[in-house]
A = this chain, B = another copy of it.
Amino acid sequence: MRTFQPIVAIALLLVSFGSTLAGAKNAAGDERAIRDLDALWSNAAGAKDLDKTVAFYADDASMLPSNAPVAHGKDAIRAVWSQFMSMPGYAMSFAPTKVVVATSREMAYEIGTYQFTANDAQGKPSASPGKFVVVWGKRGGQWKVIADIFNPDK
């Protein structure tokens, strides 16, 4: 076996080096994929497309809205978004300030800001900007929202 060892060692090194390079390259691709998904998600939410907005969540996702209990699973998450979208003067958009992908490329987190507007008691648009953290996870090769929490700045 002694003569095989260098060959095995070299093979392992090459595989390790290659997978590290590939991992770094693909992690950048994953960040790009998440940023692209986030833009589509924001567009869907802004367009009051309830089905499309909810489709970005994993089946086992948790949404943690301000001033409301945790929403577990798509039905509960759908109810929260439905309530938001039915508010008079509803307008919504959001975008990341940071996306970081785990080197294992099956978990990532995003920090971002949102612009939310709804009419006040006098029927005038009232902006309530805020911030959020979204945890993304891979489900069947596709990035999905696993946890979604947000709060207002003021």
What is A's interface to B at a CB cutoff of 8 Å? Answer: 4, 7-8, 11-12, 15, 62, 64-70, 98, 100, 102-104, 106-109, 111, 131-133, 135, 146-147, 149-154
Q: Which 5 residue pairs across A and B have the least CB separation, nearest first? A: A104-B104, A102-B102, A102-B107, A66-B151, A151-B151
Chain B residue with the shortest CB-CB distance to A70: B131
Instruction: Indicate how many identical chains form the complex.
Output: 2
Please, how many angstroms separate the alpha-carbon atoms of A8 and B4 in the complex? 9
Chain B proximity of A61: nearest CB distance (Å): 11
The answer to whether B111 touches A64 (Cβ under 8 A) is yes
The answer to whether B12 touches A69 (Cβ under 8 A) is no
CB < 8 Å neighbour of A152 from B15, B67, B111, B146: B67
Residues of B within 8 A of A98 (CB): 62
Chain B proximity of A83: nearest CB distance (Å): 15
Please, how many angstroms separate the alpha-carbon atoms of A11 and B108 in the complex? 31
The answer to whether A151 touches B154 (Cβ under 8 A) is no
Please, how many angstroms separate the alpha-carbon atoms of A104 and B26 in the complex? 14
Chain B proximity of A77: nearest CB distance (Å): 14
